[in-house]
């Protein structure tokens, strides 16, 4: 954005202002979608042409229209759509929502200027994602495996530790196999001052900063900076993925703030609102962000996206999580009950799902027993959950010894498998081993999802050569 500009044209003919919209009498050659600069006394704000006709152009400004004076303020047209400078030197740096450095360093020398809206990947060139990413978090790696090229959101609620999970993923995530470059792009949209400060502190103290690019637009940033941030972050990510063969994981938090900004702009434009006042095109808008994830046949790199959003009122049918769920390949849902129990990360395993997991696990990817262990853990935990409810009605004493073992399993599963330290990084092997460890409280004949061969090879009892509690 800091490139020297030769403005093609300018005008003072503003004839109306409403919210963040300026109505400008048309001059020849205004392009739909082009960037404009409106100068006020001493300062200037950016904007974009959102409607143009022979008579008038409508300009959406990226900020407050305070101080705009019809007939006096000058509107200058850039002659091109919104583009950002990108460069591999952006690694290790922190930027705002329009890619301006906010870490005190200089603007990196751009290698290219790219349109932040990007283009759609050719569907015929896409290849189905199938290689796992190790986040070091057991509940994700073991039960909701993230694969390169996937878009997997975290649905959270206010007050839940999604930011801490995000930072843990930034710190720990890696791809298997050596010699491949792995990059994390972190984008924070409309976060409160405290959160922004937390992110900055964490990012700076983290050894992983040299393979991270961070973009932060605090809550006080202009609406349009917040709208631009996810696209700016993904443009930088795409540049590294498709030009530098990097495996890029982009984490975007909190997309609820993004959707709020979208609604604000839509209301200012007086558009017909869809559900709960969100614009009818919100699905398409979110899709143009999330669909930038993927892998293609002719490139080595990959684009993986993990958006984080807080569900208003913890309501999963609210338009924001609902539309997101229609676009993404699964979801990781955080649960307030689990968090109250002191489990971190408090993931609701039953509501969560990774749709692309089945392609990304097993022999040669994670480990041969992963698939069976996964189904066994889920079905045993479901049984434990059912028995918990039952025991709440009929009382613990009327349960059979088998049932009680399931209750033990349920507790152990939550405390040892799901629960883990914020700074604890578990490899896939460690995660799967913990899974076997908690399963060992159940009698062997209850492990119906596991084939005898797998059992012999991985069950704690056979591997350690000792009798376990259930044995």
Residues 152 and 133: their CA atoms lie apart, in Å, by 12
Q: Are 255 and 308 in contact (CB under 8 A)?
A: yes
DSSP annotation of 29: T
Mark the segment that binds other proteins (CB under 8 A) among 184-192, 269-277, 418-426, 431-439: 269-277
Whole-angstrom Cα distance, residue 349 to residue 469? Answer: 26
For other proteins, give the closer residue by CB, 148 or 226. Answer: 148
Q: How far apart are CA 262 and CA 459, in angstroms?
A: 51
Contact 471, 405 (CB under 8 A): no
Residue whose CB is less far from other proteins, 109 or 393: 393
The binder of other proteins chosen from 129, 153, 187, 410 (CB under 8 A) = 129
**In the complex with other proteins, which residue's Cβ is closer, 105 or 273?**
273
The Cβ of residue 90 has, within 10 Å, a number of other Cβ atoms equal to: 25
Closer CB to other proteins, 42 or 123, in the complex: 123
Identify the residue among 96, 260, 329, 446 touching other proteins (CB under 8 A).
329
Site string for other proteins, 170-199 (x = CB under 8 A): ------------------------------
Contacting other proteins within 72-101 (CB under 8 A): 80-81
Environment class of residue 69 by beta-carbon count within 10 Å: exposed (0-12), middle (13-18) or buried (19+)?
Answer: exposed
Candidates 28, 42, 50, 39; CA nearest to 5 is: 39
Q: Are 102 and 108 in contact (CB under 8 A)?
A: no
Q: How far is the CB of 356 from other proteins (least distance, A)?
A: 7
Torsion angle of the four alpha carbons 420, 421, 423, 425, in this order, in degrees rounded to the nearest 10: -30
Does 150 interact with other proteins (rule: CB under 8 A)? yes
Report if residue 153 touches other proteins, rule: CB under 8 A. Answer: no
Q: Which residues contact 239 (CB under 8 A, 6 or more apart)?
A: 86, 87, 111, 112, 114
Contact between 426 and 140 (Cβ < 8 Å):
no
**Residues ≥6 apart with Cβ < 8 Å to 24:** 11, 13, 14, 15, 56, 57, 58, 59, 75
DSSP string across 225-240: HHHHHHHHHHHHHHII
Q: Which is nearer to other proteins, 121 or 219 (CB)?
A: 121
CB of 220 to other proteins, least distance (A): 29
To the nearest whole angstrom, how small is the minimum distance from the Cβ of residue 256 to other proteins?
Answer: 16
Q: Which of 9, 31, 176, 367 binds other proteins (CB under 8 A)?
A: 31
Question: By CB under 8 A, is residue 299 in contact with other proteins?
Answer: yes
Residue 430 three-state SS: helix
Asked if 288 touches other proteins (CB under 8 A), the answer is yes
Give the nearest distance from C-beta 236 to other proteins in angstroms: 16
Tell me, residue by residue from 388 to 427, as one string, x for binding to other proteins by CB under 8 A and - for no binding.
Answer: ----------------------------------------
Quick one: which segment of 178-186, 294-302, 433-441, 459-467 binds other proteins (CB under 8 A)? 294-302
Secondary structure (3-state) at 152: coil
Judged by CB under 8 A, which stretch of 32-40, 190-198, 216-224, 423-431 contacts other proteins?
32-40
Nearest to 87 by CA among 195, 230, 244: 244
Strand partners, 296: 126
Q: Is 351 in the site for other proteins (CB under 8 A)?
A: yes
Kindly tell me which of 54 and 340 has the beta carbon lying closer to other proteins: 54
Number of residues located near other proteins, criterion CB under 8 A: 65
Determine if 34 is a binding residue for other proteins (CB under 8 A).
yes
Task: State the residues that interact with other proteins by CB under 8 A.
Answer: 26, 28-34, 50-54, 80-81, 117-129, 149-151, 242, 271-275, 280-281, 283-284, 287-288, 291-294, 296, 298-299, 317, 319, 322-323, 325-327, 329-331, 350-351, 353, 356, 358
């Amino acid at each position: 954005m800091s490139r020297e500009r030769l403005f093609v044209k300018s005008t003072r003919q503003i004839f109306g202002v409403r919210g963040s919209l300026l109505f400008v009498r048309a001059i020849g050659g205004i392009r739909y979608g082009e960037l404009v600069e409106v100068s006020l006394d001493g300062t200037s704000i950016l904007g974009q042409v959102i409607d143009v006709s022979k008579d008038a152009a409508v300009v959406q400004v990226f900020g407050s229209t305070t101080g705009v004076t019809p007939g006096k303020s000058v509107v200058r047209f850039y002659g091109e759509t919104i583009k950002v400078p990108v460069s591999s030197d952006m690694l290790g740096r922190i930027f705002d929502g329009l890619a301006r450095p906010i870490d005190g360093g200089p603007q990196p020398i751009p290698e290219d200027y790219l349109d932040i809206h990007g283009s759609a990947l050719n569907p015929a060139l896409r290849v189905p994602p199938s290689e796992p990413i190790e986040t070091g978090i057991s509940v994700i790696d073991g039960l909701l495996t993230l694969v390169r090229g996937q878009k997997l959101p975290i649905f959270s609620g206010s007050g839940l530790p999604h930011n801490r999970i995000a930072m843990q993923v930034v710190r720990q995530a890696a791809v298997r196999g050596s010699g491949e470059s792995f990059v994390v792009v972190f984008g924070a949209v409309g976060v409160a001052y405290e959160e922004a400060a937390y992110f900055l502190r964490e990012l700076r103290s983290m050894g992983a900063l040299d393979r991270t690019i961070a973009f932060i637009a605090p809550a006080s940033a202009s609406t349009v900076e917040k709208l631009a941030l996810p696209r700016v972050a993904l443009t930088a990510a795409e540049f590294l993925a498709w030009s530098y063969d990097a495996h890029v994981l982009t984490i975007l938090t909190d997309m609820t703030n993004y959707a709020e900004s979208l609604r604000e702009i839509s209301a200012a434009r007086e558009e017909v609102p869809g559900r709960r006042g969100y614009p009818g095109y919100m699905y398409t808008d979110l899709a143009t962000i999330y669909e930038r994830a993927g892998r293609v046949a002719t490139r080595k790199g990959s684009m993986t996206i993990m958006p984080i959003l807080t569900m208003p009122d913890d309501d999963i049918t609210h338009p924001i999580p609902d539309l997101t769920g229609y676009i993404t390949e699964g979801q990781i849902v955080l649960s307030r009950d689990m968090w109250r129990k002191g489990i971190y990360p408090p993931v609701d395993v039953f509501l969560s799902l990774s749709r692309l997991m089945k392609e990304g696990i097993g022999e040669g990817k994670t480990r041969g027993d992963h698939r069976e262990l996964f189904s066994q853990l889920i079905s045993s935990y479901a049984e434990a959950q059912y028995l918990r409810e039952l025991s709440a009605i009929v009382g613990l004493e009327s349960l059979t010894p088998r049932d009680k073992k399931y209750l033990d399993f349920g507790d152990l599963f939550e405390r040892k498998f799901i629960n883990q330290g914020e700074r604890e990084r578990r490899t896939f092997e460690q995660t799967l081993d913990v899974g076997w460890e908690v399963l060992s409280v159940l009698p062997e004949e209850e492990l119906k999802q596991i084939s005898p061969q797998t059992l012999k090879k991985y069950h704690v009892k056979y591997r350690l050569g000792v009798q376990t509690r259930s044995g």
